């Protein structure tokens, strides 16, 4: 799975869509990560040159600063996975709990039915 170029393009789209210039993005990433990230480094990370890659430990800060989860989505797509939006987290947990509840209720009904069919004598 070669995702390098597409990943770089997803970074570029996140930058273009966030409404901030690269200098501000670099400064905010630097503050968030306590690492020096410059506008020139962002330019290299988004260039087609394979020698320059965004460090994985910088990606969460990049996504936070740009407000885009697209780079994570791009990386997860070949695995058939996606990013869970924070707004949807409670809904997903509720659905999971409802499925567990149904399974428990079905199991209880099975036990109740078997006791009715074979009473102790």
pLDDT, residue 118, reads: 64
**Nearest CA to 54 among 2, 7, 6, 1?**
7
Coil, strand or helix at 22: helix
Q: What is the pLDDT along the chain (121 residues), one digit of tens a residue?
A: 789 999 999 999 999 999 999 999 999 999 999 999 999 999 999 999 999 999 999 999 999 999 999 999 999 999 999 998 878 888 999 999 999 999 999 999 988 887 766 666 5
Which residues 6+ apart lie within 8 Å of 43 measured at CB?
22
pLDDT, residue 84, reads: 87
pLDDT, residue 5, reads: 95
Q: Are 37 and 87 in contact (CB under 8 A)?
A: no
- Interhelix angle for 4-18 vs 59-66, to 10°? 30
Which residues 6+ apart lie within 8 Å of 91 measured at CB?
none
pLDDT, residue 115, reads: 75
Stated pTM of the model: 0.76
């Amino acid at each position: 799975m070669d995702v390098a170029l597409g990943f770089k393009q997803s970074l570029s789209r996140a930058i273009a869509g966030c409404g901030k210039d690269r200098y501000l993005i670099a400064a905010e990433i630097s503050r968030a990560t306590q690492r020096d990230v410059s506008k020139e480094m962002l330019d290299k990370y988004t260039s087609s040159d394979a020698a320059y890659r965004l460090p994985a430990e910088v990606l969460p800060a990049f996504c936070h600063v740009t407000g885009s989860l697209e780079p994570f989505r791009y990386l997860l797509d070949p695995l058939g996975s996606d990013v869970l939006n924070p707004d949807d987290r409670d809904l997903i947990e509720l659905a999971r709990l409802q499925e567990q509840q149904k399974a428990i209720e079905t199991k209880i009904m099975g036990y109740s039915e078997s006791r009715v069919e074979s009473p102790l004598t």
